[in-house]
Structure 1
Amino acid sequence: MSPVLAFSLLGALLVVGVIAGAAIRLLDGRRRGGGHLLFDAAHSDGELGATATLVQFSTETCARCPQVRRMLSDIAADGDGLEHVEVDLTHRPDLSTRYRVLQTPTTFVVGPDGIVRARFNGVPRRDALSEALAAV
């Protein structure tokens, strides 16, 4: 293989990696629709809130989960009828398949009827989370 071809392939691989990383970073923490998922409160230690429930999926090795836990707990404490529950996927890996959780932290905004209204992969943005809660 010629050095020009090798450096060209290396450069192309570098460009693809940068573009993929930028796309992942751009989508991290953005609001997505909940689809037709129904959250079962029996899968957590808490009850569903009268207004909404913030469900956080985390693992023991998740580095960003404590930050999200503090933020969601603060939001739930300030809101009337809001609850925050955490589901540890380390002990319940079957739930990651059921709710299609591919990364932690993942946050669901669940209505009082158990329907997932919004989902956030990664650290949710506070303003997007407020908009999702207002829509419930």
Structure 2
Amino acid sequence: MSPTLALGIAATLLVLATTIGIVLRRRDGRRRDGGALRFDPADAAAAEFGARATLVQFSTEMCARCPQVRRLLGGYASDHEGLRHVEIDLTHRPDLSARYKVLQTPTTFVIDSSGAVRARFHGVPHRHALAEALAAV
């Protein structure tokens, strides 16, 4: 293989990896539709929903950003009436990651009082997007 061809392949891979990284970073923390998912309260240690909505955070023991999300969601829940924050550690419940299609941690669900997943966030949720999702509940 010629050095020019090797350099061209390396440059192409660098551009591709950079582009994928930028796209993934831009999507992180944005609101997505919850689809037709329903959350079973028996899957959480605390088996009751908030009167208005529940913020369900999926995390793992080795997750670096999960404590930040825990503080954000816990503070948000304590500041708003009828809102509850529940954290589920997927290290101890790996079956839930397949059931709820959780591919990364932290992942946050906004669940209404009936258990329907109204929104989901991958990564650290943007505060304004979280407020919009809760306003829609």
Amino acid at match of 1:128: A
Give the aligned residue type for 2:26. L
What corresponds to 1:132 in structure 2? 133
Give 1:45 deviation, angstroms. Answer: 1.7
What residue number does 1:29 align with? 29
Mark the runs of 5 or more structure 2 residues left unpaired by the alignment: none
Query: How far apart, CA to CA, are the structure 2 residues paired with 1:125 and 1:118?
Result: 13
CA shift at 1:53, angstroms?
Answer: 0.1
Normalization by structure 2: what TM-score? Answer: 0.98
For 1:112 and 1:100, the matched residues in 2 are separated by 21
Task: For 1:34, give the aligned amino acid.
Answer: G
Deviations 1:21-51 (A, max 9, x none): 0000010000000000000111112220010
Equivalent in the alignment of 1:101: 102
Secondary structure in structure 1 of the residue aligned to 2:121: strand
- Runs of at least 5 residues in structure 1 that lack an aligned partner in the other structure: none
Partners of 1:78 and 1:92 in 2: how far apart?
29
CA distance in 2, matches of 1:73, 1:15: 39
C-alpha separation in 2, matches of 1:129 and 1:84: 13
Cα RMSD over matched residues?
Answer: 0.4
Q: Structure 1 residue 60: deviation in Å?
A: 0.4
Q: How do 1:1-136 residues align onto structure 2 when only pairs under 5 Å count?
A: 1-46=1-46, 47-136=48-137
Q: Which runs of 4+ in 1 moved over 4 A?
A: none
Length-normalised TM-score, structure 1: 0.99
Q: Alpha-carbon deviation of 1:64?
A: 0.3
